[in-house]
Chain A
Amino acid sequence: MRPRRFIAPSAVPWLIGAAAYFFIPLIATFLFSLESNTTGKCCTLHSYGWVVHNGAFWHTIKISFLLSLETIAISLVIFVPTIYWVHLKVPKLRPVFAFMALVPFVVPPIVLVVGLLGLYKGTPSWFYAQPWGFLAAAYVILAFPYMFFSLDAGFRAIDVHTLTDASQSLGSSWPRTLLTVILPNIRAAALAGAFLALAIVMGEYTIASLSQFQTFPIFLQYTNETQAYPAAALTLLSFAITWAAMLSLLFVGRKRGARAGLMTGAR
């Protein structure tokens, strides 16, 4: 059989149907965001002005952004040396980690938060009552599978043993080997994990809501309930953040060692 030169007729309705289903809500949200708060008529940028001049917006988006940076930093500090060690010295433990990385998929965020709130009850208030403590800990757990699978793929793509031996025989210490030899080689994988973590934390609602912290998705939901038109502008902004994170991920993913992941944390 020769490859077909033209698009198969039966494929066309599928593609058109999908395009309509996926794009109409996005276009509708955009049109909605341009409608006037008072008359419901098109077109005004009032909703965007409302967002830009809203203190709570800047406050919550700052919290969410700093939280995602904290989550990324903690995850990388914990998981890079650990996964490096596993690949170098105890490859037998790799399946154990891979299995552990599936656990957050089986335990939905709503179950995770109920469990964590019970577990951490009675810890000091600097941890329990601060987003930087409790929420960051929960997000590190939520980000673990994405970090693990990205980093694992990254480490598998390089020759850990040769790089380590070369570095050590030239007299480097362990920290120096890790920072100046290993890290630059898994940079794409680390970045991919970081972008996934960023997208998760910027969109996570369930855990923040049940543990009563004011993050950006909480503000978005509050706006949905109170101000319909500005909420459309915020929704688009939230989409844009996901898009930016995922497209950056695809961009770094072109290099070897990084891999696009799926996430379920935001739902």
Chain B
Amino acid sequence: MLVGAFKSVHGGWTFANITDLRHQPYIGYYRNSIELSLVTALIGGIGGLGLAYAAVRDGTPRWIRSMLTTFSGVAANFGGIPLAFAFIATLGSIGIVTKFITSQLHFALYQHFQIWTKTGVEIVYLYFQFPLMVLVIAPAIDGLKREWREAAANLGASSWQFWRHIGLPVLMPSLLGAVILLFGNAFAAYATAYSLGYTNLITVAIGAYYSGNVLSNPHLAQAMALGMFAVLAVMMLLYVPLQRRAARWAK
């Protein structure tokens, strides 16, 4: 792939494929992919954190926690074609929920919202982003020792002060690491968006250029893939030190 990215359609060597990436539409695919991954990573991160905390905190019955982790283990691994179709059957133009809202609430949802738009794809991606966040962050929340809370409370700290000065700073490396993981997860996704019919993503563009549905130029596809690899490699470089820092409290 590394070699192919620097070849032209005629077989000679060239930098044209790489320099082309700076122009439209390619740069647009990257930008849109990064935007979408960032949005789903942040919403997924916040939602997953809230959900994980709601499930593991004192008072929540144990069975809710074990059910959530079991379900998250499965749902984080959903994805691709079946996930896309499940949402088409739910929120697509003849989906069950769409039809229900139209007939019962007299609101023509499909005129305002389509599943193959950016918002639609984001809603679908969250289906595997929330559970992934729950799985990654639940052990970190467990790592917040009860003694720390008690010590803070004994010293007169309010719940807010505990989170502001102890809870969040301790969790921060884990949180950032998890959000990077979620970003990479969304950035790499291909089948889900493809199946929903959303084409404005770098992964879907690579697929289209490679298999020649649009305009077959495998070398350009290879250059685009190289660009994706570069983005993810940077993410990994950020992730590894965060992981190390997060492990400090995990004893």
* Residues of A in contact with B (beta carbons under 8 Å apart): 1, 3-8, 10-12, 14-15, 18, 21-22, 24-29, 31-33, 40, 102, 105-111, 114-115, 117-119, 199, 203-206, 209-210, 212, 217, 220-221, 224, 228, 231-232, 234-235, 238-239, 242-243, 246-247, 249-250, 260, 262-264, 266-267
Contacts and interface: CB of A to CB of B under 8 A. Distances in A.
B185 A264 contact: yes
A18 B232 CA distance: 29
- Which applies to chain A's interface (DSSP): helix, strand, loop or mixed? helix
A6 B135 CA distance: 24
Contacts of A6: 59
- Which applies to chain B's interface (DSSP): helix, strand, loop or mixed? helix
B89 A114 contact: no
Given A33-B89, A235-B86, 11 more contacts: A14-B54, A15-B55, A15-B64, A108-B232, A111-B229, A114-B206, A114-B210, A115-B1, A203-B80, A205-B194, A242-B74
Interface of B: 1, 3-4, 50-51, 53-55, 57-61, 64, 68, 70-71, 73-82, 84-90, 94-97, 126-128, 130, 132, 135, 146, 149-150, 153, 184-185, 187-192, 194-195, 203, 206-207, 210-211, 218, 221-222, 225, 228-229, 232-233, 235-236
A108 B73 contact: no
12 contacts: A24-B97, A106-B233, A106-B236, A108-B190, A111-B228, A205-B190, A206-B203, A209-B191, A221-B191, A262-B132, A267-B185, A267-B188
A107 B33 CA distance: 16
A267 B59 CA distance: 36
A47 to B, nearest CB: 11
Nearest to B209: A114
A3 B59 contact: yes
Nearest to B76: A262
| 5 interchain residue pairs of minimum CB distance | A108-B188, A4-B59, A115-B1, A11-B54, A14-B54
B94 A114 contact: no
